[in-house]
Chain A
Amino acid sequence: MSLTLQNVSRVVEGEMWIDDVNLSLEPGSFNVLLGRTLSGKTTLMRLMAGLDRPTKGKILMNGVDVTGVPVRERNISMVYQQFINYPNLTVYENIASPLRLAKMDEKEVDRRVRETAEMLRIDPYLDRLPLQLSGGQQQRTAMARALVKDSQIILFDEPLVNLDYKLREELRQELRALFKARNCIAIYATTEPNEALALGGNTAVLNEGRLLQMGPTAEVYHQPKDIITAEMFSEPPINVVPGRVSEEEVTFDDTVHFRLNSDLRRLTPGEYQFGVRASHIGLVPHSDDDLELPVRVDLAEISGSETFLHVHNPHFDLVLHLSGVHAYQVDQEIKVYFPTHKLYAFDAQGKMVHSPARMRDQ
C-alpha cells in the first residue's frame, strides 16, 4: 500500500492552502509532517484522507487514482488533537465501533478490541465512559479506535498537544513501537521539531502550504535544503548571522573576522547567511578553530535541566542551548565560543550552499 500525491494543490476562497505538493509514502513507513501552525498540515491530511478534494493534482493509492473517492470508501483512520470518542458508549464499544460498522464477527470483534486495548494499556477501563477517563486515557481510546481496524493509512493530527509533557513522551514512544510491526502508512503532524526527531522515520517539512523538504528525519535535520527548514527543524531555532566571504576570510557584520577554514574554502566570495545551531555554541572552546565572541546576556531561560541563553553583541543576537542550569545576570558580559567548522551557509535566496562535515561525535 503506497500513497502518492502528484502536484496536489488546494485553493480555498482564493487563498492557496496547499501549493503543488508532490509526495510519495511507502508502505510501513512512519512519516512526520512538520510545520508551524497554519502551514497546511491539517489541510494536507484532510486531502490524504479524502475529506476534501484537491483543487488540482492527483492522489494515488497503490498506483490507483483515488482523487475523487470519498472518505467513506477509503480505508483510513484518524486521530485528532481533541479527544474524539462517542460520549455515551463505553471504551469497549468505542473501540469496537469501527469493527461493528464493518459487520465483523462478534468473536473477532472481542478478540481485537481486547488486544488493542491491552496494547494501549486501557484494558482495565473497558467498561467506563470516555468522560470518566483522564485525558491521556481518552486519547489512548481514540488511538485504539484508529488502530483496531486494519487501515491502510493512519493519520495523526497533533494527537499529543493536549496532553501534559510526561504523558506525551510516554505515548510518543509507545506509538513508535506500535507501528514498527505494522504495514500501514502512518502520518503524524506536529509543530515540534523535537517530536519529529523523537519519532524518527521520514519527515516532510511544510511551510505556507509548500513542501520544502522530504526525507529521512535525520537527513533533513543534518542537511536542510534551505534556511526555513533549518530554522523550523531545531528548537531553539538555528542562529542566523549575515556575513561576507572574501578570498581568505569570513566577516560577520564588519566586526568579527576569521580565516576561511578548509571546510568553507569552497564558497565563492559574496554575501551569505550563516547558520549555527544553538547547541553548538559553547561557553568553553571545543577546538582551536572556535571563534571567541564577547557578548552580553539578555536572558537565561531555564527549562528542566537545560538553559537557553539569549545573548547579543552590538550587531547580532544569539541563542545558546546549554545543558545544565546556568544562572546569569542580565547584561553580564561573557565570552562564548563560535564553532567555525559547524556552520551552515545559505545563499541570498535562502538555499543551503554549505553544511558542516558530519560531526565526529555523532
Chain B
Amino acid sequence: MQTKVENNKAWFLVMPVFLIVAFSAIIPLMTVVNYSVQDIFDPYTRYFVGTEWFKQVMLDSRLQEALLRQFIYSFTIIIIEVPLGICVALMMPTKGRGASLALILVAIPLLIPWNVVGTIWQIFGRADIGLFGAFMSSIGVDYNYASDPTDAWLTVVLMDVWHWTPLVALLCYSGLRAIPEVYYQAARIDQASRWAVFRYIQLPKLTNVLIIGVLLRFMDSFMIYTEPFVLTGGGPGSSTTFLSQALVQQAIGQFDLGPAAAFSLVYFLIILLVCWVFYTTIMNMQKDK
C-alpha cells in the first residue's frame, strides 16, 4: 500500500493571499456588517437591532427613487457608449502615425481625474462663460443644468459619455487589431459588403471585449459619485442624486451609520447580482450557439 506523505506546506503558500484579501476586503466588509446590525450611540452604548436598519433602508422612498434613477442612468449610458465606442474604434486609423495620434486623443478623457471632469463640465455648461452653455443659448435653447432637471440629466449623461466612451473604444480597438488581416482579405475575395464584414467578422470577434466593456461600464456607472457631485451636487432638487450620493448624505451628512451600513451592503449585493446575472446570461447564450 502506498503511504501518503502529509505536510501542510501548501498553507504557507496560500497564506499571503488570505492575508491580503482579509485586509483589503473581508475585514472592512465585516466592519460594515457590524454597523448594519447595531444602533450605536457612542463607543460604549450600542444595541443590537437585527434587520431593523435593512427594513428601514428598503422602505425609504428617497433611496428607492435613487435606485431607480441609478438604473435608468446606467442603462442610458451603456446604450449610448457601447455603440458609440464601437463606431469610434472602427473609425480609428490602424497604421502609421495617425494610429498613435488617435490613440492618444481618444485616451485623454480617461486620464483626467474624476473631480476635474466634473469641474470641466461645470464650466463648459455655463451659459455665461462655458462654450457648451453659450452655444446652446446662442441657438435659442433655454439651457441651464443648475435649475432644469432635464438639462442636468443631459449634462451628466453627456459628461459620462465624453469621459467613458473612450474606454469602450479602446477595448474595441484592441479587439479589432487582434483580427488577422486574412479575414478581411477573405471577405474582400468573397465580395462581402462593409456591413457583412462588421456583422460576421468584426462583431463576433468583439464579443468578449464587449462583455468586459459592458460589465466595467455598468459597475463604474452604478457607483458614480464624484462627477455629478461636483457638477450638480445631486440637484436640482434630487434629480441627479444617484445611489452613492444618497449613501454619503446619509452616512456623513446625517451620520446615520447603521442605516448607511445596511444600505452599503444592499448596494454591494445589487451590483454583484446584476453583474452575475448579466455574465451568466451572456455565457449561456454563447454556449447555446
Binding site for B on A (CB under 8 A): 49, 51, 71-72, 76-78, 80, 82, 84, 86-89, 97-98, 101-102, 129, 145
Contact (Cβ within 8 A) B190 A97:
yes
Bound complex: CA A76 to CA B188 (Å): 10
Contact (Cβ within 8 A) B186 A88:
no
Contact (Cβ within 8 A) B200 A86:
yes
Q: Taking the complex as formed, is B157 at the interface, i.e. its CB lies under 8 A from any CB of chain A? A: no
Bound complex: CA A245 to CA B189 (Å): 55
CB proximity of B251 to chain A, nearest CB, Å: 47
21 cross-chain CB contacts under 8 A: A51-B185, A51-B188, A71-B188, A72-B188, A77-B189, A78-B185, A80-B182, A80-B186, A84-B183, A86-B200, A86-B201, A86-B204, A87-B201, A87-B204, A88-B204, A97-B190, A97-B192, A97-B200, A98-B190, A101-B190, A102-B191
Q: Taking the complex as formed, is B273 at the interface, i.e. its CB lies under 8 A from any CB of chain A? A: no
Q: A80-B182, A82-B182 are in contact. Are A101 and B192 (CB under 8 A)?
A: yes
Chain B residues with CB under 8 Å of A89's CB are 200
Q: Taking the complex as formed, is B289 at the interface, i.e. its CB lies under 8 A from any CB of chain A? A: yes
Bound complex: CA A173 to CA B69 (Å): 66
Chain A residues with CB under 8 Å of B188's CB are 51, 71-72
CB proximity of B95 to chain A, nearest CB, Å: 13
A-contact 0/1 string along B194-237, CB 8 Å cutoff: 00100011001100000000000000000000000000000000
Bound complex: CA A145 to CA B201 (Å): 15
Chain B residues with CB under 8 Å of A102's CB are 191
Bound complex: CA A208 to CA B204 (Å): 38
Chain A residues with CB under 8 Å of B200's CB are 86, 88-89, 97
Bound complex: CA A71 to CA B186 (Å): 10
Bound complex: CA A233 to CA B188 (Å): 34
A-contact 0/1 string along B242-254, CB 8 Å cutoff: 0000000000000
Binding site for A on B (CB under 8 A): 180, 182-183, 185-186, 188-193, 196, 200-201, 204-205, 289
Bound complex: CA A266 to CA B255 (Å): 110
Chain B residues with CB under 8 Å of A145's CB are 190
* Nearest-neighbor residue (CB-CB) of A132 within chain B: B289
Q: A89-B200, A129-B289 are in contact. Are A84 and B182 (CB under 8 A)?
A: yes
* Nearest-neighbor residue (CB-CB) of A93 within chain B: B200
Bound complex: CA A254 to CA B217 (Å): 80
CB proximity of B7 to chain A, nearest CB, Å: 43
Bound complex: CA A274 to CA B87 (Å): 63
* Nearest-neighbor residue (CB-CB) of A86 within chain B: B200
* Nearest-neighbor residue (CB-CB) of A102 within chain B: B191
Bound complex: CA A129 to CA B200 (Å): 13
Chain A residues with CB under 8 Å of B190's CB are 97-98, 101, 145
Bound complex: CA A77 to CA B189 (Å): 6
Chain B residues with CB under 8 Å of A98's CB are 190-191
CB proximity of B126 to chain A, nearest CB, Å: 48
Chain B residues with CB under 8 Å of A72's CB are 188, 191
Contact (Cβ within 8 A) A101 B196:
yes
* Nearest-neighbor residue (CB-CB) of B201 within chain A: A86
Chain A residues with CB under 8 Å of B183's CB are 84
- Which one, B180, B204, B289, contacts A82 given CB within 8 A? B180
CB proximity of A125 to chain B, nearest CB, Å: 15
Chain B residues with CB under 8 Å of A97's CB are 190, 192, 200
Bound complex: CA A292 to CA B78 (Å): 82
- Which one, B185, B191, B205, contacts A87 given CB within 8 A? B205
Chain B residues with CB under 8 Å of A84's CB are 182-183, 186
CB proximity of B190 to chain A, nearest CB, Å: 5
Bound complex: CA A84 to CA B180 (Å): 10
CB proximity of A33 to chain B, nearest CB, Å: 17
Bound complex: CA A78 to CA B182 (Å): 10
* Nearest-neighbor residue (CB-CB) of B190 within chain A: A98
CB proximity of A147 to chain B, nearest CB, Å: 13
Chain A residues with CB under 8 Å of B193's CB are 101
Bound complex: CA A86 to CA B201 (Å): 6
Contact (Cβ within 8 A) B204 A71:
no
New contact pairs (12) apart from A78-B185, A89-B200, A101-B193, CB-CB < 8 Å:
A49-B189, A51-B188, A71-B189, A76-B189, A78-B186, A80-B182, A82-B180, A82-B182, A84-B183, A88-B204, A97-B190, A98-B190
